[in-house]
Protein backbone atom coordinates (compact mmCIF):
# COMPACT_ATOMS: atom_id res chain seq x y z
CA UNK A 1 0.00 0.00 0.00
CA UNK A 2 1.44 3.43 -0.92
CA UNK A 3 2.28 5.74 1.94
CA UNK A 4 -0.38 8.38 2.65
CA UNK A 5 1.10 11.86 2.50
CA UNK A 6 -0.66 14.30 4.81
CA UNK A 7 -0.66 17.94 3.80
CA UNK A 8 -0.60 20.40 6.70
CA UNK A 9 -2.69 23.59 6.85
CA UNK A 10 0.47 25.68 6.51
CA UNK A 11 1.36 23.85 3.30
CA UNK A 12 -2.07 24.58 1.85
CA UNK A 13 -1.60 28.23 2.85
CA UNK A 14 1.75 28.32 1.05
CA UNK A 15 0.07 26.95 -2.08
CA UNK A 16 -2.58 29.66 -1.91
CA UNK A 17 0.05 32.36 -1.32
CA UNK A 18 1.65 31.50 -4.66
CA UNK A 19 -1.60 31.00 -6.58
CA UNK A 20 -3.36 33.31 -8.98
CA UNK A 21 -6.54 31.20 -9.20
CA UNK A 22 -9.73 32.02 -7.31
CA UNK A 23 -10.22 29.05 -5.01
CA UNK A 24 -12.98 27.21 -3.17
CA UNK A 25 -11.58 25.48 -0.08
CA UNK A 26 -13.67 22.42 0.85
CA UNK A 27 -13.41 19.72 3.49
CA UNK A 28 -12.86 16.46 1.62
CA UNK A 29 -12.27 14.83 -1.74
CA UNK A 30 -15.83 13.48 -1.74
CA UNK A 31 -17.00 17.08 -2.04
CA UNK A 32 -15.56 17.16 -5.56
CA UNK A 33 -18.42 15.03 -6.89
CA UNK A 34 -20.82 17.65 -5.55
CA UNK A 35 -18.96 20.87 -6.26
CA UNK A 36 -17.26 20.05 -9.55
CA UNK A 37 -20.32 21.54 -11.29
CA UNK A 38 -19.45 24.80 -9.58
CA UNK A 39 -16.14 24.68 -11.42
CA UNK A 40 -18.09 24.31 -14.65
CA UNK A 41 -20.43 27.20 -13.81
CA UNK A 42 -17.49 29.42 -12.86
CA UNK A 43 -15.11 28.11 -15.51
CA UNK A 44 -14.74 31.49 -17.21
CA UNK A 45 -13.15 32.76 -13.97
CA UNK A 46 -10.84 29.76 -13.62
CA UNK A 47 -12.15 28.90 -10.16
CA UNK A 48 -10.35 25.93 -8.59
CA UNK A 49 -11.50 23.47 -5.90
CA UNK A 50 -9.12 22.68 -3.04
CA UNK A 51 -10.26 19.77 -0.81
CA UNK A 52 -8.11 19.86 2.32
CA UNK A 53 -9.19 16.87 4.39
CA UNK A 54 -11.50 18.13 7.11
CA UNK A 55 -13.30 21.03 8.73
CA UNK A 56 -10.52 21.87 11.18
CA UNK A 57 -8.06 22.28 8.30
CA UNK A 58 -10.52 24.57 6.48
CA UNK A 59 -10.78 26.70 9.62
CA UNK A 60 -7.00 26.85 10.06
CA UNK A 61 -6.57 28.00 6.46
CA UNK A 62 -9.34 30.58 6.88
CA UNK A 63 -7.50 32.06 9.87
CA UNK A 64 -4.50 32.65 7.58
CA UNK A 65 -6.49 34.32 4.79
CA UNK A 66 -4.52 37.58 5.13
CA UNK A 67 -1.59 35.71 3.61
CA UNK A 68 -3.37 35.13 0.28
CA UNK A 69 -5.45 38.25 -0.22
CA UNK A 70 -4.25 38.38 -3.85
CA UNK A 71 -6.90 35.77 -4.78
CA UNK A 72 -10.59 35.55 -4.08
CA UNK A 73 -11.47 32.59 -1.88
CA UNK A 74 -14.54 30.86 -0.46
CA UNK A 75 -14.64 28.27 2.31
CA UNK A 76 -17.32 25.57 2.41
CA UNK A 77 -17.80 23.48 5.54
CA UNK A 78 -20.29 21.28 7.32
CA UNK A 79 -22.25 22.76 10.19
CA UNK A 80 -21.64 19.67 12.36
CA UNK A 81 -22.45 20.22 16.05
CA UNK A 82 -22.85 23.96 15.46
CA UNK A 83 -26.36 22.93 14.40
CA UNK A 84 -27.15 22.55 18.10
CA UNK A 85 -25.48 25.84 19.03
CA UNK A 86 -24.53 29.15 17.47
CA UNK A 87 -21.75 29.44 14.90
CA UNK A 88 -18.75 31.04 16.67
CA UNK A 89 -18.62 34.73 15.93
CA UNK A 90 -15.09 34.48 14.54
CA UNK A 91 -16.43 32.40 11.65
CA UNK A 92 -19.39 34.63 10.81
CA UNK A 93 -17.75 35.81 7.60
CA UNK A 94 -19.11 36.36 4.10
CA UNK A 95 -16.40 34.11 2.66
CA UNK A 96 -17.56 31.12 4.73
CA UNK A 97 -20.47 29.00 3.50
CA UNK A 98 -21.86 26.57 6.07
CA UNK A 99 -24.30 23.83 5.19
CA UNK A 100 -27.89 24.33 6.32
CA UNK A 101 -28.05 20.83 7.80
CA UNK A 102 -25.49 18.93 9.85
CA UNK A 103 -23.46 18.25 6.70
CA UNK A 104 -23.54 18.42 2.92
CA UNK A 105 -25.08 14.93 2.99
CA UNK A 106 -28.05 16.32 4.92
CA UNK A 107 -28.59 19.12 2.42
CA UNK A 108 -28.45 16.70 -0.51
CA UNK A 109 -30.60 14.14 1.32
CA UNK A 110 -33.41 16.69 1.48
CA UNK A 111 -32.82 18.09 -1.98
CA UNK A 112 -32.74 14.62 -3.53
CA UNK A 113 -35.90 13.25 -1.86
CA UNK A 114 -33.88 10.06 -1.41
CA UNK A 115 -36.46 8.27 0.72
CA UNK A 116 -38.74 8.12 -2.33
CA UNK A 117 -36.51 5.28 -3.58
CA UNK A 118 -37.54 3.03 -0.67
CA UNK A 119 -40.11 0.31 -1.28
CA UNK A 120 -42.98 0.00 1.22
CA UNK A 121 -41.40 -2.80 3.27
CA UNK A 122 -38.02 -1.05 3.18
CA UNK A 123 -39.60 2.19 4.37
CA UNK A 124 -41.18 0.55 7.42
CA UNK A 125 -37.90 -1.10 8.46
CA UNK A 126 -35.94 2.10 7.76
CA UNK A 127 -38.11 4.19 10.07
CA UNK A 128 -37.98 1.58 12.80
CA UNK A 129 -34.18 1.66 12.63
CA UNK A 130 -34.20 5.44 12.51
CA UNK A 131 -36.23 5.68 15.72
CA UNK A 132 -33.60 3.64 17.56
CA UNK A 133 -30.64 5.42 15.98
CA UNK A 134 -32.06 8.78 17.09
CA UNK A 135 -32.27 7.54 20.69
CA UNK A 136 -28.56 6.72 20.73
CA UNK A 137 -27.62 9.83 18.75
CA UNK A 138 -29.45 12.19 21.13
CA UNK A 139 -27.48 10.63 23.99
CA UNK A 140 -24.16 10.97 22.13
CA UNK A 141 -24.78 14.58 21.07
CA UNK A 142 -25.66 15.60 24.62
CA UNK A 143 -22.49 13.98 25.92
CA UNK A 144 -20.40 15.71 23.24
CA UNK A 145 -21.98 19.11 23.90
CA UNK A 146 -21.20 18.63 27.57
CA UNK A 147 -17.55 18.06 26.71
CA UNK A 148 -17.53 14.28 26.79
CA UNK A 149 -15.37 12.14 24.54
CA UNK A 150 -17.98 10.10 22.67
CA UNK A 151 -18.14 8.86 19.07
CA UNK A 152 -20.72 10.24 16.68
CA UNK A 153 -19.43 8.44 13.58
CA UNK A 154 -20.82 5.00 14.41
CA UNK A 155 -22.21 3.00 11.50
CA UNK A 156 -25.86 1.95 11.99
CA UNK A 157 -24.89 -1.72 11.73
CA UNK A 158 -22.69 -1.23 14.77
CA UNK A 159 -25.40 0.58 16.75
CA UNK A 160 -28.29 -1.79 15.97
CA UNK A 161 -28.63 -5.54 16.24
CA UNK A 162 -30.43 -7.75 13.72
CA UNK A 163 -33.76 -7.07 15.47
CA UNK A 164 -33.42 -3.33 14.82
CA UNK A 165 -32.77 -2.49 18.49
CA UNK A 166 -29.75 -0.80 20.07
CA UNK A 167 -27.22 -3.58 20.48
CA UNK A 168 -26.59 -4.28 24.20
CA UNK A 169 -22.86 -4.81 23.66
CA UNK A 170 -22.59 -1.51 21.79
CA UNK A 171 -24.57 0.25 24.53
CA UNK A 172 -22.21 -1.13 27.16
CA UNK A 173 -19.15 -0.16 25.14
CA UNK A 174 -20.19 3.49 24.71
CA UNK A 175 -21.88 3.90 28.09
CA UNK A 176 -25.33 4.44 26.61
CA UNK A 177 -27.87 5.05 29.38
CA UNK A 178 -30.90 6.11 27.34
CA UNK A 179 -31.98 8.93 25.04
CA UNK A 180 -31.59 12.57 25.93
CA UNK A 181 -35.19 13.73 26.35
CA UNK A 182 -34.07 17.33 25.78
CA UNK A 183 -32.91 16.53 22.23
CA UNK A 184 -34.58 13.28 21.16
CA UNK A 185 -37.98 14.61 20.08
CA UNK A 186 -36.47 17.51 18.14
CA UNK A 187 -34.00 15.25 16.32
CA UNK A 188 -36.73 12.72 15.55
CA UNK A 189 -38.90 15.46 14.06
CA UNK A 190 -36.05 17.07 12.07
CA UNK A 191 -33.83 14.03 11.52
CA UNK A 192 -33.09 14.89 7.88
CA UNK A 193 -31.42 18.11 9.03
CA UNK A 194 -30.10 17.24 12.50
CA UNK A 195 -28.97 13.60 12.36
CA UNK A 196 -25.35 13.23 11.23
CA UNK A 197 -25.59 12.98 7.44
CA UNK A 198 -23.17 10.10 6.92
CA UNK A 199 -25.08 8.07 9.50
CA UNK A 200 -28.39 8.87 7.85
CA UNK A 201 -27.12 7.94 4.39
CA UNK A 202 -25.57 4.73 5.71
CA UNK A 203 -28.91 3.76 7.20
CA UNK A 204 -30.72 4.52 3.94
CA UNK A 205 -28.15 2.53 1.97
CA UNK A 206 -28.65 -0.44 4.28
CA UNK A 207 -31.86 -0.86 2.27
CA UNK A 208 -31.06 0.79 -1.08
CA UNK A 209 -27.92 -1.30 -1.60
CA UNK A 210 -29.19 -4.60 -0.17
CA UNK A 211 -27.82 -7.64 -1.99
CA UNK A 212 -31.33 -8.88 -2.87
CA UNK A 213 -32.42 -5.55 -4.32
CA UNK A 214 -32.96 -5.43 -8.08
CA UNK A 215 -31.64 -1.86 -8.35
CA UNK A 216 -28.84 -0.92 -5.97
CA UNK A 217 -27.60 2.56 -5.13
CA UNK A 218 -24.38 3.98 -3.72
CA UNK A 219 -23.61 6.99 -1.56
CA UNK A 220 -21.74 8.79 -4.33
CA UNK A 221 -24.42 8.18 -6.95
CA UNK A 222 -27.17 9.43 -4.63
CA UNK A 223 -25.20 12.56 -3.78
CA UNK A 224 -24.32 13.33 -7.39
CA UNK A 225 -27.93 12.83 -8.52
CA UNK A 226 -29.13 15.19 -5.80
CA UNK A 227 -26.53 17.81 -6.70
CA UNK A 228 -27.59 17.67 -10.36
CA UNK A 229 -31.23 18.00 -9.36
CA UNK A 230 -30.41 21.42 -7.92
CA UNK A 231 -32.74 21.66 -4.93
CA UNK A 232 -33.06 24.58 -2.56
CA UNK A 233 -30.17 23.72 -0.24
CA UNK A 234 -27.48 23.06 -2.85
CA UNK A 235 -28.78 26.02 -4.87
CA UNK A 236 -28.21 28.24 -1.83
CA UNK A 237 -24.55 27.19 -1.81
CA UNK A 238 -24.15 27.63 -5.57
CA UNK A 239 -25.81 31.06 -5.52
CA UNK A 240 -23.60 32.22 -2.64
CA UNK A 241 -20.48 31.09 -4.49
CA UNK A 242 -21.53 33.05 -7.55
CA UNK A 243 -22.01 36.17 -5.44
CA UNK A 244 -18.53 35.72 -3.97
CA UNK A 245 -16.72 35.24 -7.25
CA UNK A 246 -18.59 37.60 -9.56
Domain with 192 in it: 113-208
Question: What is the domain-level CATH number for residue 25?
Answer: 3.40.50
- In-domain check, residue 1: no
**Judgement on whether residues 127 and 43 belong to the same structural domain of the protein:** no
**Judgement on whether residues 122 and 97 belong to the same structural domain of the protein:** no
Q: Is this model's pTM higher than 0.85 or not? A: yes
| Total domains present in the chain | 2
Q: What is the Cα–Cα distance from 234 to 108, expressed in whole angstroms? A: 7
- In-domain check, residue 224: no
CA 187 to chain centroid, in Å, comes to 16
Q: What is the Cα–Cα distance from 213 to 112, expressed in whole angstroms? A: 20
Contact (Cβ atoms closer than 8 angstroms) between residue 26 and residue 216: no
- In-domain check, residue 84: yes
- In-domain check, residue 44: yes
**Judgement on whether residues 70 and 91 belong to the same structural domain of the protein:** yes
pLDDT tens series, the chain, 246 aa: 344 457 899 999 999 999 999 999 999 877 677 887 777 888 888 999 999 989 999 999 999 999 999 999 999 999 999 999 989 999 999 999 999 999 999 999 999 999 999 999 999 999 999 999 999 999 999 999 999 999 999 999 999 999 999 999 999 999 999 999 999 999 999 999 999 999 999 999 999 999 999 999 999 899 989 988 889 999 999 999 999 998
**Judgement on whether residues 144 and 174 belong to the same structural domain of the protein:** yes
- In-domain check, residue 225: no
**Judgement on whether residues 89 and 136 belong to the same structural domain of the protein:** no
β strands within the chain, DSSP E: 23-26, 48-51, 73-77, 96-98
The CA-CA-CA angle for residues 101, 103, 105, to 5°, reads: 100
Amino acid sequence: MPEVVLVTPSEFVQTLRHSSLPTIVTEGSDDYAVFRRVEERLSELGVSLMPVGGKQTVLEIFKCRDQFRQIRTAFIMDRDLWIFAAVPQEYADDAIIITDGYSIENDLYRDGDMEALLLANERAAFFNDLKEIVKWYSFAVRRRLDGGDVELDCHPRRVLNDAGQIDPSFALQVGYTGPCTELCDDIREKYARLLRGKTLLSLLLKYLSHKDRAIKHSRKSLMEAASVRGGAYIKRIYDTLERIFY
